[in-house]
Amino acid sequence: MNPEKARELRDGKSRQRASPFSPQPGTRKHRELRFNPQHPEEVAEAHKLLAGLDGMDIEAGLTAHSLSIWYDVNDYTLEGLEAALKRQGFHLDNGVFNKISSALAHFCEETQLRNMHGPQRLLKKSHDIYSKAWDQHAHGDHDETPPDLRKDH
């Protein structure tokens, strides 16, 4: 149990449940895992399975067939968690809303990880590249007169 969770339990406050469509700055994410309503027993099984993962916080979801999970994208992604649950034989919700919200979360997490771990653009070097390209471009700023023949004004 981390200190944040202990304070919440002590004070009787629950964690904020952010919508999958609301911005979640930082690397700590909240997601809803929705399971197929035809397999209600899988929610408890998935809760036990996911509770064994380090850095994963789990609570009952907003509906009877869902789980609320909190995790750091450096450790887990929704896409990876969903794939692992499917490999274990769990049946996730195949509704249109769930597919759209999952796809959006997958895209956002993938983009955030790529931006965090990708190579940083070196601004000075890119400026040099554009300056050299501009110098080679025929744009009329060059005086073709040799320097010794130019008149000083």
Residues ≥6 apart with Cβ < 8 Å to 82: 33, 92, 102
Question: 15-27: per-residue pLDDT in tens?
Answer: 566 665 577 778 8
Q: What is the DSSP letter of 110?
A: H
Cα 100 to chain centroid distance, Å, stands at 15
- DSSP states of 27-43: SEEEEEEEB-TT-THHH
- DSSP states of 66-99: EEEEEEETTT--HHHHHHHHHHTT--B---HHHH
- CATH at residue 12: 3.30.70.100
Question: 88-117: per-residue pLDDT in tens?
Answer: 999 999 999 999 999 999 999 999 999 888
Residues of the chain with confidence (pLDDT) below 70: 1, 4-21, 120-127, 139-142, 152-153
Identify whether 122 is part of a domain. Answer: no
Residue 34: exposure state from Cβ atoms within 10 A (0-12, 13-18, ≥19): buried
- pLDDT reported for residue 141: 63
Identify whether 128 is part of a domain. Answer: no
Residue range(s) defining the domain that contains residue 92: 3-117
Interatomic CA distance for residues 144 and 139, integer angstroms = 12
The three-class DSSP label of residue 100 is helix
Identify whether 95 is part of a domain. Answer: yes
Residue 57 is inside which H or E element, if any?
strand 57-60
How many domains are contained in the chain? 1
- pLDDT reported for residue 18: 61
Interatomic CA distance for residues 54 and 36, integer angstroms = 26
- pLDDT reported for residue 42: 92
Token representation of residue 115: 């931006």
